[in-house]
Structures are given as C-alpha cells and as structure tokens.
Amino acid sequence: MNPIRRAIVAGLALVAAAPGAVAAVGAGGPGDHRARDSALVKVFGAVDRSTQWRLVDRMRLDFPTFHTEGIAFAGDRVFLSAVEILEPTVTYPTPVDGYDRSPGKGVGHLFVMDRQGNLQKDIVLGEGDVYHPGGIDVDGHDVWVPVAEYRPNSRTIVYRVDTRTLRVHRQFEVKGHFGGVVRDRTTGHLVGNTWGSRRFAEWDSRGRQLSTWANTSFFVDYQDCQYVPTGKMLCGGVANLPQTPGAGGAAATYELGGLALIDLRSHRVLKEVPFQQWSTAGHVATRNPVKVVADGRSLTVRVAPDNGEEGNGTEILTYRATVGK
C-alpha cells in the first residue's frame, strides 16, 4: 500500500471511531435529546458554492457492482448497496393496476468490504418484485437498507443487517417506493424518502407510520442520506436538468449535484449547497452513494457515482475541503 493510501485508510478508521462521527456510535441513544449538534453540522454550515474540494483518493472496486445506491461505514467495514438489473422495467401506455410501468426483474445486493475495498460478502436482499435497494444508514449496530420495487407508488421492505455478524433481519414492509432510510438516533424511529424524494415518512421500529410530509425543496432529488446528531440528516443527490440545445440537442440535460442538511423536527431544509465534482464516467459525484464526516475544520465526502460497467467501473472517491476560520 502506498503512503498516501495508508494515511487515508488510517484516517478513515480514526474518523469512524471519533465521538460524534456519522459512521460511528455517537452520543445519545434512542430517547436522548440532550446531545449537542455534532461537529458535522457546524462545519457543514460553513460550506458554500466557492468551497474548494480536493480529490484525495480514488479506490477502484474489482468485483461486479452493477448500479450503486448507498454507502455506509462501520468500524473496519464498508457497506455498499446496489441493484443488478436482469430485465428492465417497461413503461405502460396507460397505468395498469395503479402502476406506470412493469416491475422488471433484478437482484438487490448489499456488498460488505474491508477498508481497502476487498469484497468480504455479497448479501442478497429483497423478494419477488422487491429488488431495488436504496440509500442506507448505519447506527453503530445495524445497517438499515430499504429495498423496493423499481417503480413509484409500489412497496418497500426495510431490512437491518448486523454490522458485526452480518445477520439479516426483515424489519417491516410499507406501501410506497422509499429510496432511502435514516435511523433517528434520538428517537429510534426510521425516516424514509419516496421516489424522487418528493415526500418523507417517519415510522417506529415496527413500521407504524407516525408522520409524513412533503419535501419543500426542489434543488436535487436525494439519493443517499445519513443521520447527524442531533435530530438532523444530511443528504446527497442529483437533478437532471435541461441544457441549452447547442450543448447536445433538444433533449440535452446536465447533472446538478448537491448536499442538503434537514432538520428532522421542523422538517426544514437548513442548508443546501451544490457539489459539482465529476466521476471518471462523467457523472456528478453525488449521483448515488454519499457519506460525509467532519474532523476539525475539515470535511470529507465519500461517494461512488459510477456503475460497474461505466468508466473504470465503480470507484469510491474521497474529496476533502477545509472550511471556516
């Protein structure tokens, strides 16, 4: 391992073990509302459009990764969710049984790796038409993974996977396509975002819906989120927006990437910033898996935007920026 990679891997382990780190067990379990905002909330508050992000590591994964969805870090393990498409969905001319497209066929994967990106286990999740994993979150003990049908207004199964034993628990099933979940560490509840993140829902640990609310922001669609102490979540996402026809024809689009901090009590978006860094295959970095950690004035963003068949294959890219004074 070269010196730069060795230093980065060591830094990952330190961040994961640090108090208040997103990927580790932080202060305050379910029911503890006394914890202060983490360093991540404070440092992210200083990020703006002119923040200078540096690419400090590029780790290529040497196994089939298909279409990546969410990423999480727990101790010496990395978890990556992905969907393998066997038969694409087909849009119906008119809705059939309330659906706008066929279910398609596929396989949902939760890849378990070490910090060097070596595959340790491929956990298959889902059942029948439910095969599309989404954004994931880790609470220090379990990785929470939603797996839905690959179409809106369908259904979702929420799984939790023990980060140590890798034992899979089918937690509950809910109506609707939820493309990401976060576990609120102050309440023990789960918060999910629907197809296109246009709506959020909150459930208890058995899947009983407690509340639902509309997303008031249309900046980007959230793809992968994480809990942030206390009572907040940080999401990364992408929007495909129209481009001038001169840049590629009448149907030309470009990818807008961004990060958003959301209050889980008031449901307000506290801050949004663009993140226009690009992958080997030309995708915006926050296209799918995203996780962020803070260390002093430094923010580290880890992403995996490219599918297994694109560019150099899936790479976990690490960006870093120093913000504030």
Task: Provide the whole-model pTM.
Answer: 0.88
Per-residue model confidence (pLDDT) at position 250: 79
- The C-alpha atoms of residue 257 and residue 276 are separated, in whole angstroms, by 6
Per-residue model confidence (pLDDT) at position 313: 96
Phi, psi of 131 (to 5 degrees): -145, 5
Q: CA angle, corner 285, sides to 279 and 290, nearest 5?
A: 135
Please answer whether residues 30 and 188 qualify as being in contact, where contact means their C-beta atoms are separated by less than 8 angstroms: yes
Per-residue model confidence (pLDDT) at position 37: 77
Question: Which residues are 302's β-sheet partners?
Answer: 291, 318
- The radius of gyration of the chain from alpha carbons, rounded to an integer in Å, stands at 19
Per-residue model confidence (pLDDT) at position 324: 75
| Mean pLDDT by groups of 10 residues along the chain of 325 residues | 45 39 35 62 95 97 98 97 98 95 98 97 98 96 97 97 98 97 96 96 97 96 96 96 82 93 96 96 97 95 97 97 86
Instruction: Count structural domains, the chain.
Output: 1
CATH number, domain with residue 163: 2.40.128.630
Structural domain boundaries, residue 259: 3-322
Neighbours of 41 (CB within 10 A): 21
Task: Identify the H or E element spanning 316.
Answer: strand 315-322
Q: Which amino acid, residue 237? A: G
- The C-alpha atoms of residue 25 and residue 292 are separated, in whole angstroms, by 15
Q: Which amino acid, residue 277? A: Q
Q: Are strands 67-74 and 54-60 parallel, antiparallel or unpaired?
A: unpaired
The DSSP letter of residue 63 is: S
Please answer whether residues 146 and 133 qualify as being in contact, where contact means their C-beta atoms are separated by less than 8 angstroms: yes
Per-residue model confidence (pLDDT) at position 7: 42
